[in-house]
Each structure stands twice: as C-alpha cells, then as structure tokens.
Structure 1
Amino acid sequence: MKNEKPWDVEIGASAGLYPNMMESSELRWGFIRKVYLIVAMQILITIIIAAVMNIVPSIHVFFVSRTSNSIILAFVIMILPLLVMIPMVFLSNRHPVNMILLVLFTICMGMSIGLACSGRQGNVVLEAAALTAIVFMGLTLYTFWAAKRGHDFSFLGPFLFAALLCLTIFSLIQIFFPLGKTTTMVFGCISAIIFSGFIVYDTDNLIKRHSYDEYVPAAISLYLDIINLFLALLSIMEE
C-alpha cells in the first residue's frame, strides 16, 4: 500500500516513544542520540584525565603526599567545577559558548574524579566503574521501556530534590565531624539509591520534556548522575 509507513526499529510502526506523543519521533531520537554522544565524550575525557592523574607517578605521588601545596591544589580542583557550572547554567543555550564551558567543566570534573580515585586500589576503582556502567545501562533501558508503556516519573522531582538537599547537609557535617566507616557506608548506599533515581528521572525528562536546544543541560544532568553514582559506589567498596 502506498500510504503505509516503513517500519523503523527506533520509531516504531505508528507509536512514538511514549503514548500520545505529539512531536516527531525522528527529531526526538536525533536529540537523544546527540545528548548521549555528548555524555559519552564527557565520560571519555573524565576517564583519560583521571587515569593520567593516577598513572603518572609524579602527579600521583604529589597528591598522595598530602603536603601543604598538594592540599591547596586539591581544594582548588574540588571547587573549580562549581565555579565553571555557574556561568554554564546561565549560558547553556548560547552556542558555541555552552560547548566551550561544557568541555571546561568536564576537564575540571575529570581532575576531581582523579583526585577522588587517588590513594584507592585500582581494582576497587574498576569494580565501581563497571558497576556504575551496568546500573546506568539497566536503568536507562528500564526508563525507555516504562515510558513506552505510559509510565511517568516526573513525580520523583520533589522527592529527589529533598533527598539531594539532605545529602548535601550530611556531607558538610561529615567534613567537620567524621562519623566513622559504618556511617560512611550507609551514606554511600543511600547516595547510590538517590542518584539511581536521578538517572530514571533525568532520562524520563530526556525522552519527554527537554526541548531540542537543551542538549547541554540534558547532558550535564545525566553526566552528573553517572559521576555521583560512581562516587557513591566507590565509597561503599573502599570500606
């Protein structure tokens, strides 16, 4: 029949990514692929920078030595992502400034992750990274499957925001009043659950709610979900 549309694995015969989808499936899939490509490049840059910081002997010894210079530099590295994120949020839709800030933010995050991995055994870091990849892929596939069947996860937003606020306050308390290994492990488990929820929530937003020019905010959200999940799992495995 002339009016019959060809089958597309990604688009489906007539249904979209979710029931009652009004926009073009082709455009939405193009946006999703663009976001995941950006996230993949961010993860690759992060891995390279973190690996260099831990494989190159001089760099690794410098940060592990805990001298006054290394502590000051470590503090600067930890706050750099926050400083870069502020203008990136306000300029997220201005190309090419948004991409330049995105690359700069990723480099800063890569140094922070390299710092977080310093002093930890290589097999522990690899196990945490592998588990992060498995959890992320599993939750991503689940969210796409659930969205196809009409499930909506927008209700998670307020709960996740409240949970993130509690995590932030607890992290600040831990800096000044360390609470021991058991509490740190429990904190890591709760963090892993919360950021797993963020992966589902942000993936659902990617499928349904982000506009086509919001590829940078969408990529940042998923990238930070992956990074925070990795750090949570790393804190659990090191105990």
Structure 2
Amino acid sequence: MYFRPPYEKGHPNARVKDFHPVIMENLEVRWAFLRKVYLMLTAEMSLMVLVAYIVVFNPPVANFFVSTPVGFGLYIFSLILPFIVLCVMYFYHRYQPFNHYLLGVFVVAVSFAVGLTCAFANGDIILEYVILTYVITISLTLYTAKRRHFFQFDFAEVVSMANQLYLLLQTDFPLGRPSLMMYGVPASLIYCVYIIYDTNNNLMERYTREEYVWATVALNVVDIFNLFFNLFLYIGNLLWASYSSQIGVANTQIKALLLVIIVMSMIVIVIYHNLID
C-alpha cells in the first residue's frame, strides 16, 4: 500500500535528492508526525463507532438500507467511494490543503461503509470489533505518548487487554451470544498488532514529515479489507448454514472454519502489504 507516485523531475511534489524519512528527524518531529497520524485515525474510529451504534440500535435505519432501493444504493456507493478517493489521493496526497479535504472524505467514507455493514451482516459482531479496536488503539497511543517512547511489540499485553475488554462487554454490556461475539476479539487483535508492527517498521522509515496524510491512509488498509471480510463472513454463514443442514456438519465447526479463513486471509494481506514497495 506504500505507493510512490511517479513524480517527474521539477514536479512540485517531486522529492528532494536527499530523502529524509521521519525516523531520521529529531524526537519532537517524530512525535508531531505520529500525533497527526493517530489523531486522524482516532477521528475515523470515533465516527465509525457512532455510525455502527446508530445502525445496530435503530432498526428503522437498518431497514432503510436493507429494504429500500435508495438505501441499498447509498450503501453500495459507500463501499466504492473509499477506493475512488484513494485513487485521487495517490496523485494529490502532498497538495495542501486539497489532501486534507480528500482525507476527510476518505475517513467519512470508510466509517460509513463499515458502520452501514451492520445493517447487512451481524451488526453486534462488527460493533464489538469496532469498540475493541478503538479502545485498544487509543490505550496504546496514550501509553506511548506518556512514556515518550515508541511501540514495543508485546503480543501478550495486547491479547490480555483484548480479553479483558471482551469480558467486560459480555458481562456488563452484552451485545449478543458469546460464541458469535468471539469473532470480534481476533479481528481487533489482528488490527492492533498490525498498527504496532506498522508503526515500528514502516511509518517512521518510509515517510517524510509532510506525508502524514498518506501514512494515515496506509494504516486504513486493514480497515477496508476487514469490511469485506465481515461481508464474507455474513455470506459464508448463510451458505454454510444451508450446506451443513444437508451434510450434518456441526455449527461450531463451521464457525471455526470461517474464523481460520478470515485470520489466514488477513495474514496474507499484511504480508503482501509489507512486501510490495
């Protein structure tokens, strides 16, 4: 996802001969870069939680997008819009303030696409995924800001945090059956581990201090793909439920198989994302 626009010599966006990534800057510049990236990421996830909450807990809103041609058309448009904006940002992500306007449209488009998916897929699963991811991401960001050092990859801490949040939600604010809600934990873990890895190994080394907009878009890749994996989960559940009734496959086995497919697909995407440059 780290696309490099083919700028020609003399182009206003062309890079200087001596490229200085953020990692080579002083500490204050690096922290200013990360603050901008995570502030925009936090704004997107906040809007995503709001939209998902409205769709899940207001049946008329969900019915509008599911049962009316206008609502369904708006939903399809919300799925396509992030990719349209992404193509435009590929060429204009360093043009200020145009790049900020494009980023705002991109953030709103992704938030609505994920939130409106609650009307078609299992909204409780998606809402819990969004909440878990939001809380873990904010917690990790605040921790590093207070400690004044960058992320240290500690998978055990992330797993422990996700499990505690999951148990809290299921105990005090149950959103559905625990067997179904377990999908939210691995999805959140994959996304948060990806953020930690990407911050340590890619963001600081591949971008300049002016490219925080494009860095924010890069961190949104997993969000976009997770949207379609949730749709895949919804469609897959329907197909496998019909098939299992004929061959007698246990429902738990079906869920386990779908979970394995999703996790493996996410791993492949992350590997591919970090190999192409």
Q: TM-score range by the shorter chain?
A: 0.5 to 0.7
Residue equivalent to 1:209: 206
Q: Residues 227, 137 of structure 1: CA spacing in aligned structure 2 closer, same or farther, 3 A cutoff?
A: farther
Deviation at 1:24, TM superposition (A): 0.7
**1:144 corresponds to 2:150:** yes
Please list, as runs of the form range in 1=range in 2, the aligned pairs for 1:171-190 lying within 5 A after superposition.
Answer: none
Please list, as runs of the form range in 1=range in 2, the aligned pairs for 1:76-225 lying within 5 A after superposition.
Answer: 76-120=77-121, 123-133=124-134, 136=137, 144-146=150-152, 198-204=194-200, 205-225=202-222
Q: Residues 227, 87 of structure 1: CA spacing in aligned structure 2 closer, same or farther, 3 A cutoff?
A: closer
Deviation at 1:234, TM superposition (A): 8.8
Contact 2:94 2:211 in 1 (8 A): yes
- Give a deviation string over 1:161-207, Cα, whole Å, max 9, x none: xxxxxxxxxxxxxxxxxxxxxxxxx9xx7x88875664344312223
TM-score by length of structure 2 reads: 0.51
1:29 corresponds to which of 7, 28, 31: 31
Contact 1:199 1:225 in 2 (8 A): no
Task: Give RMSD over aligned pairs.
Answer: 4.0
Contact 1:128 1:233 in 2 (8 A): no
Cα distance in structure 1, aligned partners of 2:151 and 2:51: 34
Aligned length: 179
| Gap regions ≥5 residues in structure 1 | 1-20, 148-185
**1:49 corresponds to 2:58:** no
Deviation at 1:51, TM superposition (A): 3.3
Residue equivalent to 2:12: none
Q: Residues 103, 55 of structure 1: CA spacing in aligned structure 2 closer, same or farther, 3 A cutoff?
A: farther
Cα distance in structure 2, aligned partners of 1:69 and 1:230: 21
Q: Which moved more, 1:96-105 or 1:130-139?
A: 130-139
Residue equivalent to 1:72: 73
Deviation at 1:100, TM superposition (A): 0.7
Q: Residues 93, 78 of structure 1: CA spacing in aligned structure 2 closer, same or farther, 3 A cutoff?
A: same
Cα distance in structure 1, aligned partners of 2:134 and 2:193: 15
Contact 1:43 1:223 in 2 (8 A): no
Contact 2:56 2:124 in 1 (8 A): no
Residue equivalent to 2:262: none
